[in-house]
Structure 1
């Protein structure tokens, strides 16, 4: 069951990680200007989580009725875990705002590769917060993926969008580095919260955690939208959108769905494995985003992007080769444990 959950969350994370930046950039490319609206769309889909939470509740209820036990609660979270998820949600709201600022100013192929630096921040914070253990292969992968993102800084204005000033481009570059650092802190913080929780962490609880996080991130972004009067601007922006009013609203709706897939996948992978694994997966998916951005948006592919892409792929191969070797050693040492292990409920 846990392996199936891991596969499912990896798929969700892959869809969100590749599709999220692409559809956000689509909004800006065709005339969208609202930063607060863009970051609001990342988490406003939190009510979607009520569907799987409800399914999990009815399954628990039916099982407990069969066993003659008392009825279960709809929400499992204790107050301490709720407060933790709310605070992390507010941090996520800040991170979403910084990220939207970066995507508004940079081509996706550039911003995607800068995000590779997030892995170094995730690794550092994972070591400090949850005492993450490293192998030679994982260290090699972290170094390569981080250098791959840093290579882009050698030519920071080489692919500046037409009509954008050098100052705005550099601001976008710094924003993307900032969002990498903050989200690199959030991932291990989620793992630490799981470890310190005063209740057993099940996947049902992970769904609730995700919903509360997105709820409070949405509250933060909604406040920004109200101050900036973004809600009133949506109809006007839709009328003047480059590819039509109907497609404008389709972009908004798909943004909500795709970003929910990303956030659920990210914390789901943390639940199944670790925050470092989630960070690694985000980093290794960046070449896919890079290639899609070049194909879909006709973005330039210069030498530094090619070097960055190769380093990212090298880091990807290094990490997963190390994981395979580690799995082989573990299996050889403890074959009996592998057979008798029971799946996580």
Structure 2
């Protein structure tokens, strides 16, 4: 009769993780870790800032969801500023565009435009802290779509994180009366809640489809290829959003909103400009993380910025923070930890899936 192997102690798990981290550190030059740190900060600082600016826009008199959606993609030339000189320095040519690759960029651009519009509704009707906590469900959908479409790893720890984060979202739903602004109706709050969850689901789908493009159409992942995909997707998202903004008479509405904006026109255009800059810096940071590490780490950082946004919103925007919301935040942290453990467990027999 085979003996049952003894279970590992907590110290053995900690020791295994420490050994794994040391091996990861020494396998890469120090410049790699510096760039990865800066890229991670590019996700964890500008992205929360852009979320707070979106909420500030609506709180101070902004009303157009199309305008704040347009702000999310209007900075796409910043990617081109980084990409185009890279061709000259590295002496390489752009990846040829065929019909399938072009169509994939068009589809991803359309989905990104729709995703930004959904999140705009969330920030119009929900406190920034609540909207950010609900957006953490994107990690759940990233894991599910990644498993179905790209055959990424799905284990008990990741399933546990899905259940935990879903429970955290349920707590917020049950405690909705404690954090709703007085001027927001029940119907508007429900609309914001639903669009936030749907936007998170779409965000997870976009993450999985982007990885699928690397696997099926490009067959490789390099710094330039990642930048090219981001540029093309952002460009098409900008085109779709601009069409929607023109059809809704949004550009003319900017002048009207600026004249009645709390703080005046300078404050209005400052929110718009800094919203464009911070969102695109976050996109560039995420692009660099995907190249330097993996889509898994990008997904984790994308989720970790959620509690950062929530805490910043409470401090800077004085968002209501009930006991249930604090409980939801703690449970969300637990879910993140479970996801990270499941994605990087040293006990796995094989390394996480990457694209060469």
State TM-score, norm by structure 1: 0.86
Which of 160-169 and 313-322 deviates more?
313-322
Q: Using the TM superposition, give the Cα deviation of residue 101 of structure 1 relative to its aligned residue in structure 2, in angstroms.
A: 1.0
The answer for unaligned runs of 5 or more in structure 2 is 1-30
Which of 142-151 and 210-219 deviates more?
142-151
Residue 148 (structure 1) aligned with residue 168 (structure 2): yes
Which of 107-116 and 50-59 deviates more?
50-59
Secondary structure, counterpart of 1:221 in structure 2: helix
Find the counterpart in structure 2 of residue 317 from structure 1.
337
Q: 1:43-62: per-residue Cα shift (whole Å, max 9, x none)? A: 1111111221123112112x
Distance 1:199 1:322 in 2: 26
Structure 1 counterpart of 2:244, from 216, 224, 230: 224
Q: Using the TM superposition, give the Cα deviation of residue 323 of structure 1 relative to its aligned residue in structure 2, in angstroms.
A: 5.6
Q: Using the TM superposition, give the Cα deviation of residue 178 of structure 1 relative to its aligned residue in structure 2, in angstroms.
A: 0.8
Q: Using the TM superposition, give the Cα deviation of residue 40 of structure 1 relative to its aligned residue in structure 2, in angstroms.
A: 0.5
Distance 1:5 1:221 in 2: 32
Distance 2:37 2:260 in 1: 41
Secondary structure, counterpart of 1:131 in structure 2: coil
Structure 2 counterpart of 1:18, from 8, 23, 48: 48
Residue 53 (structure 1) aligned with residue 74 (structure 2): no
Q: Report 1:161-172 matches (<5 A).
A: 161-172=181-192
Does structure 1 conserve the Cα–Cα contact (< 8 Å) formed by 2:42 and 2:281? Answer: yes
Distance 1:85 1:290 in 2: 32
The answer for unaligned runs of 5 or more in structure 1 is 62-71, 335-343
Does structure 1 conserve the Cα–Cα contact (< 8 Å) formed by 2:142 and 2:208? Answer: yes
Residue 233 (structure 1) aligned with residue 253 (structure 2): yes
Secondary structure, counterpart of 1:160 in structure 2: coil
State TM-score, norm by structure 2: 0.83
Structure 2 counterpart of 1:277, from 280, 297, 307: 297
Does structure 2 conserve the Cα–Cα contact (< 8 Å) formed by 1:187 and 1:267? Answer: no
Q: How many residues align?
A: 321
Which of 253-262 and 199-208 deviates more?
199-208
Structure 1 counterpart of 2:65, from 35, 55, 60: 35
Distance 1:99 1:249 in 2: 21
User: Which runs of 4 or more aligned residues in structure 1 lie more than 6 Å from their structure 2 counterparts after TM superposition?
Assistant: none
Q: Report 1:93-242 matches (<5 A).
A: 93-198=113-218, 200-242=220-262
Q: Using the TM superposition, give the Cα deviation of residue 19 of structure 1 relative to its aligned residue in structure 2, in angstroms.
A: 1.5
Does structure 2 conserve the Cα–Cα contact (< 8 Å) formed by 1:191 and 1:271? Answer: no
> Cα 1:94–1:258, aligned 2, differ >3 Å: closer, same or farther?
same
Which of 114-123 and 266-275 deviates more?
266-275
Q: Using the TM superposition, give the Cα deviation of residue 191 of structure 1 relative to its aligned residue in structure 2, in angstroms.
A: 0.5
Q: What is the aligned-residue RMSD (CA, Å)?
A: 2.3
Secondary structure, counterpart of 1:285 in structure 2: helix
Q: Using the TM superposition, give the Cα deviation of residue 273 of structure 1 relative to its aligned residue in structure 2, in angstroms.
A: 4.2
Residue 91 (structure 1) aligned with residue 111 (structure 2): yes
Which of 94-103 and 311-320 deviates more?
311-320
